[in-house]
Structure 1
Amino acid sequence: MGKPTGFMEYQRELPDDRAPLERINDWDELHCPFSEEKLKIQGSRCMGCGTPFCHSGTVINGMISGCPNHNLIPEWNDLVSRGLWKEALTRLLKTNNFPEFTSRVCPALCEGACAAGLYSDPVTTKIIENAIIERAYEEGWIAPCPPSGRTGKKVAVVGSGPSGLACADQLNKAGHRVTVFERADRVGGLLMYGIPNMKLDKRIVQRRVDLMAAEGVTFVTSTEVGKDYPAKKLLQEFDAAVLCGGSTKPRDLPIEGRNLKGIHFAVEFLGASTKSLLDSGLADGNYISAAGKDVIVIGGGDTGTDCVGTALRHKCNSVNQLEIMPRLPLERAANNPWPQFPRVFKVDYGQAEAEALYGADPRHYCVTAQKFAGDEYGYVKEVHTIQVEWIKDDQGRLAPREIPGTGKVWSAQLVLLAMGFTGPENTLLDQLGVERDGFSNAKAEYGKFATNVKGVFAAGDMRRGQSLVIWAINEGRGAARECDRYLMGSTMLK
């Protein structure tokens, strides 16, 4: 511990965010700088627990506790508190290939399991992680470091999201020649086109991609394996392949009026907006605009929040977010004890911006859409909803029941479906003959990552289903380790 009594003497403090009414006028990142002295103080709040849960990655009663990547959090908190930034970087990079991503978009599972949170507020691990990696770039400590030798083996990685990038980075470090295939025109997968710029500036993504390219990783963009490049060719031209294509089939809402124009999946809306922003600053008009429209977002997760924030930056007329689930409690419920991740109510950036602009939180709970209504031109104009209550069925499971007399009609010229994803697309897996699990994901045991096809591995959302960036990095690293073992007979990768 940098200061044994730090957790008793200092309060949790976070850097300020830019004012909501200011930031909705641009696409820049949300957070303001934090001084080095304040970062040291926050690092000194880490208790140096004898048995820390923050990096445990343990599943307790079906819920994760701590970082699944087992980041060495107490160590780099302590090092930062003592001003040993370069040493902190070494510990940070030992388990995490891309802290510049996780420190921006991870929900901070580590903080939910922080022991300081038992009596007070948890340590500000996420901002400390971000400060370490950004200082490392500023100081020039992050530079291309190609492997000293090559094994002669070639590996294809399909998909350049967080799992694919982590896998490629690790395999390249092991000396293999790695080619990453990406069907979009830019590398990064959901990091590039799934997460809007104000949450993760795309220069940050490109900075890491450029570094990996300088270290010897080959990126092939605008090439969909299974369509532009036959899947079977992977087995002919490479010694092994790792499938990291993600969970990319969005969950639909097949109710009356679904075929009306103006109803889109969130991933279409967010991806097109980011691409147009990067291509032309939105000048080309090649995106689904929310400008001047009443927007309804259906879904209450992070993607729904991103839709709210993006619609506001498009200058929508109004935005409302419908959530079928009840509002979470302000404090941990009895069935959600520490060190599980706290399932509590929070106001994210998009809701804070909507509240600042319109005077109210845009979220509406226990609401389900019954039908969409359109105008004479086939465009959506209304969303018809009803309130639900959650009751236990005969098996003791909670299920929604409509409440008569609670119907409502919402004006809407743009509806965004942000209800998650149902699994990977079929083409690639079918062409390779990869077996599926009960959820249609690529079947491969966690920890081994090998599919039923020899030399073919699977990782990330394509294997485990829709999940977090930190889980994707964990799986990409694990699949790289097992792929390296397959190719060489043993491995030094962790």
Structure 2
Amino acid sequence: MGKITGFLELQRVEERHEPPQVRVRHWKEFVERLDDEHARQQGARCMDCGIPFCHNGCPVNNIIPDWNDLVYRGQWRRALDVLHSTNNFPEFTGRICPAPCEAACTLNINDDAVGIKSIEHFIIDKGWEEGWVVPQAAARKTGRKVAVVGSGPAGLACAQQLARAGHAVTLFEKSNRIGGLLRYGIPDFKLDKGLINRRLAQMEAEGVEFMPSTYVGNATDAPEGVAVRTPQELHAEFDAIVLTGGAETPRDLPVPGRELRGVHFAMDFLRQQNMVNAGDRVPRQISARDKHVIVIGGGDTGSDCVGTSNRQGAASVTQFELMPRLPEVEDKPLTWPYWPARLRTSSSHEEGCERDWAVATKALEGRNGKVEKLIAARVEWFRDKATGQMKMREVEGSQFELKADLVLLAMGFVAPVRSVLDAFGVEADARGSVRADTVNYRSNVDKVFAAGDMRRGQSLVVWAIREGRQCARAVDEFLMGSSTLPR
């Protein structure tokens, strides 16, 4: 695959980024894809390694060595066909996936991994520019109707696959635009929303009907200003129902002062900025302008809060994590080909942010109902001899305080919205997600399936796409007795 000696002769080349001082002035994407020649060279680095561990590292099982070889040979369109054979939306994963495939790359054992993500980004952008990405409408309709509830990556992938199988698919979304967390959870500087819009145009041409501003569940639980469709109505109208509403219940911070103004969940903060960027008016928008911002949580959502705060003009941004600081370089012989636990510095961190680790919040304090400072303490982690579990304890005398005008809780998500599960009468597992396996994706309720974060819990966009595709095949088999859709 690739050039037989390419990995010995060529170095990994990263995609170019706008300088931090430039990109913080706007909300547009700032990563420039590879040009043709650099893409060829990066494809040439793919080894003839015998066992492509990158396949297993990639949740959608992208056929990575094949399209690397095709890129090296300049066969762009064939590379696009191979890429699309496993992934409905490579323009999303090529931008926001953390690339577990690269961690699993054989070359990563003792060298820089093949730039798989940058090559994927190149292939799909080249395909759109050349007009090779076109609707794939089904030759024949089956006469079966499927409702997909939730329009994130799992719902989009499931809906597109089912439409291509010939089913009439209606995609419901409670927000005013289709896209789920792709639309309102990921900042525009990481994922331009025009990329979503052109995929929706393709899917509409393939027969998918979109129903935004429509809540599916009990009317008493619906947000204001949206239409309501009950589970009973969907059962009567559709032959199958797929729940892909995500894991939207955020992890809270039960400390004194949590009720103070200025303390918000990260997703409320990010969603509002994306709405403003899309042209919506948001009264009393949560803003970081001229404020001392503290982001609690060290993951991707926390990083997005950092980048958004800087673009809004924060006076300072501090991010801290409960867990200890990880090493900057992993022990590759110990971790490869699995996803390594190591310190990661995102593009948002490069734009300006104080970071700290092994810090626990003890309280939030303020005056007149408004947060003004955060009380924290340092913690140390140890292994409990009796249970073998890792536990933490406060370091004596380590308490300190930070000025805080805006506190953003970015500590992850614990479960789907329970009222939706209850409305459909589906069983939940121990984590509160819909109980369904990865063979048939069926819940305990007849005709009701579940996929994505609503089934597996909080996860990556690439896992959502995989589950959406596999669930579509399961639904097709349920409706037709067999299926030619890939898993």
TM range (shorter): over 0.9
Q: Which residue of 2 aligns with 1:35?
A: 35
Tell me what 2:265 maps to.
265
CA distance in 1, matches of 2:48, 2:210: 41
User: Residue in 2 aligned with 1:358?
Assistant: none
Match of 1:343 in 2: 341
Matched, 1:447 2:439: yes
- Number of aligned residue pairs: 476
Relative distance call for 1:456 and 1:99 in structure 2 (3 A) is same
In structure 1, the partner of 2:287 is 289
Partner of residue 492, structure 1: 484
Q: What does 1:303-382 align with in structure 2 at a 5 Å threshold?
A: 303-333=301-331, 336-354=334-352, 361-375=353-367, 377-382=368-373
After superposition, the Cα gap between the structure-2 partners of 1:208 and 1:334, relative to the gap in structure 1 and judged at 3 Å, is closer
Preserved CA contact (<8 Å) 1:336 1:342? no
- The 3 A distance-change label for structure 1 pair 108 and 480 is same
Higher mean C-alpha deviation, range 378-387 or range 225-234: 225-234
Which whole-Å CA distance do the structure 1 matches of 2:477 and 2:390 have between them?
Answer: 45
What is the rounded CA distance, in whole Å, between the counterparts of 1:478 and 1:251 in structure 2?
Answer: 28
Consecutive unaligned residues of structure 1, counting only runs of 5 or more, are 57-65, 355-360
Query: 2:335 is matched by which residue type in structure 1?
Result: P
- After TM superposition, the runs of 4+ consecutive aligned structure 1 residues lying more than 4 A away are 283-286
3-state SS of 1:385 partner: strand
TM-score (norm 1): 0.95
- Per the TM alignment, residue 49 of structure 1 is displaced from its structure 2 partner at its CA by 2.1
Q: Which residue of 2 aligns with 1:274?
A: 274
Please name the residue that 1:14 is paired with.
14
Which stretch of the first structure deviates more once superposed, 210-219 or 95-104? Answer: 210-219
SS of the residue 2:278 aligns to: helix
Structure 2: gaps (5+ residues): 220-227
SS of the residue corresponding to residue 107 of structure 2 reads helix
Paired residues for 1:463-482 under 5 Å: 463-482=455-474
> What is the match of residue 224 of structure 2?
none
CA displacement at 1:34 relative to structure 2: 2.2
Cα distance between partner residues in 2 of 1:12 and 1:204: 27
- SS of match in other structure, 1:3: coil
The offset of 1:362, in angstroms, is 1.7
Q: In the alignment, what sits opposite 2:223?
A: none
Deviations 1:438-485 (A, max 9, x none): 111000011220001111100000000000000000000011000000
Instruction: Give the match's secondary structure for 2:249.
Output: coil
Write the distance in 2 (CA, Å) between the matches of 1:171 and 1:318. Answer: 47
1:357 aligned partner:
none
Equivalent runs, 1:186-225 vs 2, <5 Å:
186-225=177-216
Q: In the aligned structure 2, how far is the partner of 1:335 from the partner of 1:34?
A: 30
**AA matched with 1:397:** Q
Query: By how many angstroms is 1:428 displaced?
Result: 1.8
Give the Cα–Cα distance (whole angstroms) in 1 for the partners of residues 136 and 383 of structure 2.
Answer: 57
Alignment partner, residue 60 of structure 1: none
Partner of 2:44: 44
- State the partner residue of 1:70: 61
- Taking the aligned partners of 2:461 and 2:334, their CA distance within structure 1 comes to 23
Q: Is the 8 A contact 1:167 1:480 kept in 2?
A: yes
Counterpart for residue 390 of structure 2:
398
- Give distance in 2, aligned partners of 1:345 and 1:210: 39
Taking the aligned partners of 1:116 and 1:141, their CA distance within structure 2 comes to 31
Q: Deviations over 1:8-33 (max 9, x none)?
A: 11111112211001000000112124
The alignment yields a C-alpha RMSD, in angstroms, of 1.2
CA displacement at 1:2 relative to structure 2: 2.9
Q: CA deviation at 1:333?
A: 3.6
Distance 1:343 1:448 in 2: 32
Contact 2:258 2:364 in 1 (8 A): yes
Question: What do residues 190-212 of structure 1 show as CA deviations (whole Å, max 9, x unaligned)?
Answer: 00000000000111111111111
Give the stretch that moved more between structures: 409-418 or 343-352: 343-352
